Structure 1
Amino acid sequence: MKRPIVRLSSLQLTNIKNVKRGTIYMPNTVNKILSADKAEILGIYGQNGSGKTAIVDALYFLQKVMIGDDLDQSLEDYMNMDSDTAEIFADFNLFMNGIVFEIGYRLSLSREEKVVVISRETLSGAKNENGIRTNKTVFMDYQRDQTNTIFKPQKRLDEILEENKDIKTDLIVARKMAEKSNCSYIFGGVVGIYSAENTKMDFNNFQLLFLLCLNLL
């Protein structure tokens, strides 16, 4: 089996530095090409103040979050001064064994008493195989203020617990630890559990999450 390839397809920023809201699309995304044969981008250019540095900085912070590091508090300096919230939304294409998985990761941030916290994370996916594409659906939605819920959708959580009921406590503990250390619950908590358990995962219960953590950026 060939090593999976992950490519960024688009990046949307909200309230990052001087960017109130903006999206960039990679060339293959614009041309509706699902291929990883060649490099798509060599550089970013634009007028002063157009958001070039914001893109580079956002990718740096996104990488740190997705490898499970604690949230870098210098992020506060990169959030727009007129807002206490910011968001980074990245779409990726994952190429694996002739199948292309479209993965969307949304990272929502909020400023609370001069401390930046992860207020919400969502992970969604769609599958392209033999010219047929499934609908893109959310398979993990973590919200910091919903303390009575491990994560949504409940259907996805039930699928995990059906396979391994003992993991429920681990998921709850991982959530609390992620919030205490201010790191990603998805990439710092859930992926860590599955790595420790060495649990085999398929598309419906988070293999793609695991692959993204190992191969992204």
Structure 2
Amino acid sequence: MENTIVRLESISIENFKNVKYGQLCFANNRKNYRTSILGLYGQNGSGKTALIDAIELLQLALKGAQIPSKFADYINVEAGYAYLRYEFSVSGKEDRYQAFYEFKLTAEKIETAQNTIVLENDDVHFKAKITDELLSYAYESETLKIRKSTLLDTSSKKVFTPTTKYSCLVGKDKKVNMNLMVDKKIIQAASRSFAFSGELLSVIRNNQVGQGDLEYQRHMRLIESLVRYGNFELFVINTANSGIISMNMVPLSFRYENGKSGAIGNILIPLEETAPIPEETVSVVERIITNMNVVLSRIVPGLTIRLENLGEILFANGKKGVRIQLISLKNKKAIPLKYESEGIKKIISVLQLLIVVYNRSSITVAIDELDAGIFEYLLGELLRIISEQGKGQLIFTSHNLRPLETLNRGFIAFTTTNSSNRYIRMGNLKDSNNLRDFYFRDIILGEQSEEVYDPTNNSEIALAFREAGEFNGT
């Protein structure tokens, strides 16, 4: 399974945040490139972050994790539910899948406890639920080709359909079926995906009867590939990271491998004061920093960071820990990292993931506002290098237009003012056109099939500033 390459090929979004409908395809932008990059551009509030949120929702579903209640608020106010659809390519040594995963996102009111007095001005709280999951696939190998068919559909009152796929994966034990019916209700009530829940996966993996069947093995390769992808190969960095950095904390996201061992995760390291971390984590962080410094010193000439060990401590649970501080070294002068710029901290927080995207094919990293605090020329060069020589998949949003001049135009998409057709790629573009200039021109002239900018009136803005000043007595 570790040699399987999973790529996110497309996303369709319906009634999610301010996107009534939007569809983005990542598969057609890789001509002559091993890597897959998509940079999404557009004015504020036009649906860029919705794309990153949709990928985060996918990650949570594939991990079988609880969906945070915030996603209940992401359902468009004019709709009863949101619908999300994802397409993947899953390539192994001897076979290839085209997989499709889709589901409804609904909001359910959280009932208050009995005997609790609810006041009129109390907020009504909702939880997000994933329902009507549908996993389907097409399959191709040297000896067999299967058209698109449904593997798992949770929309019925049964555990899942089709019945033939259920029998293949789960078996015909009635007691197991009854237990799974209960599990399904509990899991959905707990705001988790049932299709990728640990409870269902455990039953399928323990199906001794099916394990010798070639169809069972084929289905399991697909399911296990998607589970591995969601847990170990898909990373989402949202704007919360930028807020954390502003509070002088570094969220260090990483995937690190050394031979047959490795580590994956996200460590939040405070910068205002020394930070206690578990003893076994120290060696992992040190290896990650050593690895990052190879690239960091080239990105920001002369700059490296190091982990300062300030002595052992004992946690309340009796386990040993170490108190650390991150140090910045520039031209051999050491200062606490907290005194560096937010741009440097942002680079450090995502650098290890960019290294992994550059080197590994089955890695997807989605970053909201990648450009925050990063010098635009450096941003453009980093993305050019990754696009031309990298192997993985990078999806990002940005307000900085420099990448429009350094990336292949197939790697760029734009938001529109039409919430029912939220994402487009530029048409009528010649090879000689500068995409940045072309985008500015379209903002003014509106030559695309959809409007990409909701125009503002400078005189009205100036008048509003003056009126606001008079209101404040200035």
Q: Would the TM-score normalized by the shorter structure come out above 0.5?
A: yes
Contact 1:10 1:23 in 2 (8 A): yes
Q: How does 1:17-166 map to 2 (within 5 A)?
A: 17-26=17-26, 29-30=27-28, 38-41=34-37, 43-113=39-109, 114-130=126-142, 133-143=145-155, 146-147=156-157, 149-162=158-171
Structure 2 letter corresponding to 1:121: E
Contact 1:4 1:215 in 2 (8 A): no
DSSP-derived class of the 1:3 partner: coil
DSSP-derived class of the 2:154 partner: strand
Q: What does the per-residue CA deviation read over 1:64-102, in whole Å, with 9 as the maximum and x for residues that have no partner?
A: 111011121100221111112001100000111142211
Q: What does the per-residue CA deviation read over 1:11-66, in whole Å, with 9 as the maximum and x for residues that have no partner?
A: 0000111100110001xx33798x9x721115322343432111001101110111
Q: In the aligned structure 1, how far is the partner of 2:62 from the partner of 2:5?
A: 16
Counterpart of 2:9 in structure 1 is 9
Bigger CA drift: 1-10 or 83-92?
Answer: 1-10
Structure 1 letter corresponding to 2:28: V
Structure 1 letter corresponding to 2:203: I
Contact 2:12 2:84 in 1 (8 A): yes
Q: In the aligned structure 2, how far is the partner of 1:56 from the partner of 1:164?
A: 41
- Structural RMSD (CA): 2.8
Contact 1:191 1:213 in 2 (8 A): no
DSSP-derived class of the 1:86 partner: strand
1:190 Cα deviation after fit: 1.7
Q: In the aligned structure 2, how far is the partner of 1:58 from the partner of 1:2?
A: 25
Q: In the aligned structure 2, how far is the partner of 1:54 from the partner of 1:164?
A: 42
2:191 to 168, 174, 182: 182
Q: Residue 50 and residue 192 in structure 1: after superposition, are their counterparts in 2 closer, same or farther (change >3 A)?
A: farther
DSSP-derived class of the 2:79 partner: coil
Contact 2:170 2:207 in 1 (8 A): no
Q: Between the two proteins, what is the percent identity of the paired residues? A: 28
Structure 2 letter corresponding to 1:134: I
Q: In the aligned structure 1, how far is the partner of 2:5 from the partner of 2:13?
A: 24
Q: In the aligned structure 2, how far is the partner of 1:17 from the partner of 1:42?
A: 20
Q: What does the per-residue CA deviation read over 1:82-128, in whole Å, with 9 as the maximum and x for residues that have no partner?
A: 11200110000011114221110002112233332222100000013
Q: In the aligned structure 2, how far is the partner of 1:71 from the partner of 1:63?
A: 10
DSSP-derived class of the 1:136 partner: strand
DSSP-derived class of the 1:62 partner: helix
Q: Residue 186 and residue 89 in structure 1: after superposition, are their counterparts in 2 closer, same or farther (change >3 A)?
A: same
Q: In the aligned structure 2, how far is the partner of 1:157 from the partner of 1:198?
A: 11
Contact 1:91 1:104 in 2 (8 A): yes
DSSP-derived class of the 2:195 partner: helix
Q: In the aligned structure 2, how far is the partner of 1:21 from the partner of 1:42?
A: 19
Counterpart of 2:221 in structure 1 is 207
Q: In the aligned structure 1, how far is the partner of 2:144 from the partner of 2:203?
A: 32
Q: Residue 62 and residue 2 in structure 1: after superposition, are their counterparts in 2 closer, same or farther (change >3 A)?
A: closer
Count of residues paired in the alignment: 208
Q: In the aligned structure 2, how far is the partner of 1:16 from the partner of 1:73?
A: 14
Q: Does 1:191 align with 2:210?
A: no
Q: What does the per-residue CA deviation read over 1:142-165, in whole Å, with 9 as the maximum and x for residues that have no partner?
A: 02xx43x11111121122344777
The unaligned stretches of length 5 or more in structure 1 are none
Q: In the aligned structure 2, how far is the partner of 1:165 from the partner of 1:40?
A: 46
Bigger CA drift: 51-60 or 184-193?
Answer: 184-193
The unaligned stretches of length 5 or more in structure 2 are 110-125, 235-474
Q: In the aligned structure 1, how far is the partner of 2:2 from the partner of 2:187?
A: 33
Contact 1:17 1:54 in 2 (8 A): yes
Contact 2:12 2:23 in 1 (8 A): yes
Contact 1:16 1:86 in 2 (8 A): yes
Structure 1 letter corresponding to 2:5: I
Contact 1:91 1:103 in 2 (8 A): yes
Q: In the aligned structure 2, how far is the partner of 1:177 from the partner of 1:101?
A: 31
1:136 Cα deviation after fit: 0.7
Contact 1:11 1:25 in 2 (8 A): yes
